[in-house]
């Protein structure tokens, strides 16, 4: 079993708690409208967190033109950040290119500003987790997901005894879902055992890989969780 490398710390500060109020919904709507109506890339990038990391992805997203938003509302669940345990208000954004709804959150900055968190929106709007599930690439890939503990009853009992199971969701309407597992006797498994509780929904960025197991057949394995304090080596998949 390869070692699990330690991820970088999350790019979105979790020090500032946001409460899901009508005012926050209004602010989010204003920010999103300005972002979609921006006159150029610089104006657009000024409204998202860590713009230097996402300039190319944003440009590709807008190549066919901006999507048309038909509704913006709070998502059905308010997850906790993993790691961190802070409540993260999520918004469901329905557009002409994503009828099921993308997920959006705000990124509080240390100077008090609120910016849009681009990766979560882009991944869920483009249903990227669905593509990963369907195409089964060999290489691992990072995804922002909603996740909660699962009994993973479709997997063999012997395999379940050696792994923690999680239901993962990569969209607002529940149409992009899968079960993923993490080996119990690893630094990451111990992190999940320590930091997650049954019945709680978490928002995390995880490294996933398709694997073929002799007992369970094809499974999706969680190799890493961004920001997790595992004490693991930096060598390993996805390095």
| Best CA proximity match to 208, nearest among 151, 123, 125, 126 | 123
CATH number assigned to the domain covering 128-225: 2.40.50.140
- Beta bridge partners, 164, equal 182
pLDDT value of residue 94: 98
Question: For the chain, how many residues are written?
Answer: 239
How far apart are the C-alpha atoms of 106 and 206, rounded to whole Å?
19
Mean pLDDT across 182-192: 97
**pLDDT higher than threshold 80 for residue 237:** no
The model's pTM is 0.87
How far apart are the C-alpha atoms of 114 and 69, rounded to whole Å?
20
Other beta carbons less than 10 A from residue 12's beta carbon = 22
Burial classification of residue 77, based on how many CB atoms lie within 10 Å of its CB (0-12 exposed, 13-18 middle, 19 or more buried)? middle
Residue range 90-147, pLDDT digits in tens:
999 999 999 999 999 999 998 889 999 999 999 999 999 999 999 999 999 999 999 9
**pLDDT higher than threshold 60 for residue 37:** yes
Q: Which helix (H) or strand (E) holds 217?
A: strand 217-225
pLDDT value of residue 127: 97
pLDDT band at 149 (very low <50, low <70, confident <90, very high): very high
């Amino acid at each position: 079993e390869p070692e699990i490398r330690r991820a970088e710390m999350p790019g979105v500060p979790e020090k500032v708690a946001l409460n899901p109020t009508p005012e926050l919904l209004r602010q989010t709507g204003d920010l999103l409208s300005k972002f979609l109506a921006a006159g150029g890339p610089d104006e657009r990038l000024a409204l998202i967190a860590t713009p230097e990391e996402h300039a190319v992805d944003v440009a590709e997203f807008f190549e066919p033109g901006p999507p048309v938003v038909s509704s913006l509302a709070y998502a059905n669940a308010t997850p906790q950040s993993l790691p961190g345990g802070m409540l993260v208000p999520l918004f469901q954004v329905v557009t002409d290119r994503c009828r099921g709804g993308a997920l959006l959150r705000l990124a509080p900055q240390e100077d008090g500003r609120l910016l849009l968190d681009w990766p979560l929106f882009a991944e869920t709007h483009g249903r990227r987790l669905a593509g990963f599930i369907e195409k089964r690439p060999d290489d691992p890939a990072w995804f922002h997901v909603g996740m909660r503990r699962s009994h993973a009853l479709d997997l063999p009992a012997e395999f379940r005894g050696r792994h923690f199971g999680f239901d993962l969701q990569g969209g607002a309407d529940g149409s992009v879902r899968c079960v993923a597992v993490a080996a119990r006797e690893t630094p990451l498994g111990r992190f999940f055992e320590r930091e997650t509780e049954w019945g709680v929904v978490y928002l995390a960025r995880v490294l996933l890989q398709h694997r073929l197991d002799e007992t369970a057949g094809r499974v999706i394995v969680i190799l890493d969780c961004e920001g997790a304090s595992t004490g693991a080596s930096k060598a390993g998949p996805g390095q």
